[in-house]
Amino acid sequence: MDQSKIETLSRFGFRFEKGGVHTSRTMMLEDIKLLLSYVSSPSASKSDYLQAIEEDNCLGKRSGKTRKLTGSHLVELYSLDPSITIFRALRYFWERDPDGQPLLTLLCAYSRDSILRMSVPFIMHHSEGERVSRESLEEYIEDKFPDRFSKATLKSTAQNLNSTWTKSGHLIGKAKKIRDRASATPGSVSYALFLGYLTGVRGEGLFRTEYARLLDCSIDRSIELAEEASRRGWIVFKRVGDVMEVLFPNHLAEQEREWIREQN
């Protein structure tokens, strides 16, 4: 991806830095659930979230150092900033589609964590019912980043990635991980389409992006769920024959619309 594209997408909240939270943490589904429940206002500021974590200890961490580190990881994964497009949209669908929260979390983390993005082909290559071993994931990571990680970091990164993919519904099992099928919902489909829209994709192509692929469901099923989301007023989805239009009037500020016009 060229630098101008990276700069454009970074304005919406996408991150492209090397590394990521998954060397030491998962996508932290339980923590983000607790945090968004505790800080109930969609307009809450980033400082409100950090105060809830570090001062109120809403996540129940044992020490001030751990609270601060947890806040830092959550900012890396989700930004926790309502001025950031992809976090604001995450919060919108989060409140309206509780069943979609695991996939919503994955989609946002994927947009901001390069190590999680790196693991996608490995997970998606496995067929439903096939075993996904930590050791094979370690080999995959080592092949992608030769000599970058120590053996201990390689092991913990593979464990964290497998845990994230389990939380999202793509894997099942504890010690023995098996490829499963995640459960897409109207909210998670809407968010995947929105992320694709921010990258410049339009129409039917939105159902074929890297974000849509994470939904683990067919294009026909994704279209059905998009139609349901449109009926609920979350997005605008129009279809005439093979021609599709997806719009997001609830999710873009004027400045963000201008960025998209510039992008087009």
The pLDDT value given to residue 2: 81
Domain-wise residue ranges, the chain:
3-95
Q: pLDDT for 152-197, tens place per residue?
A: 999 999 999 999 999 999 999 998 999 999 999 999 999 999 999 9
- Encoded amino acid at 13, one letter: G
196-207 as b/e: b if 16+ CB within 10 A: bbbbebeeeebb
CA atoms within 13 Å, Cβ hemisphere of 62 = 0
Give yes or no for residue 257 having a pLDDT over 80: yes
Confidence bin at 262 (pLDDT 50/70/90): confident
Give all strands (DSSP E) within the chain, no chain letters.
Answer: 171-172, 178-179, 236-240, 243-247
How close are the terminal C-alpha atoms of the chain, in Å?
16
- Give the SS3 label for residue 243: strand
Residues 6 or more apart from 131 whose CB is under 8 A from it? 176, 177, 178, 179
Give yes or no for residue 147 having a pLDDT over 90: no
The pLDDT value given to residue 144: 92
The pLDDT value given to residue 3: 85
Query: What percentage of the chain has pLDDT greater than the value 90?
Result: 91
Is residue 188 within 8 Å of 149, Cβ to Cβ? no
The pLDDT value given to residue 121: 97
Q: pLDDT for 205-247, tens place per residue?
A: 999 999 999 999 999 999 999 999 999 999 999 999 889 999 9
Confidence bin at 113 (pLDDT 50/70/90): very high
The pLDDT value given to residue 185: 98
Backbone angles phi, psi at 246, to 5 degrees: -125, 125
State the chain's mean pLDDT as an integer: 96
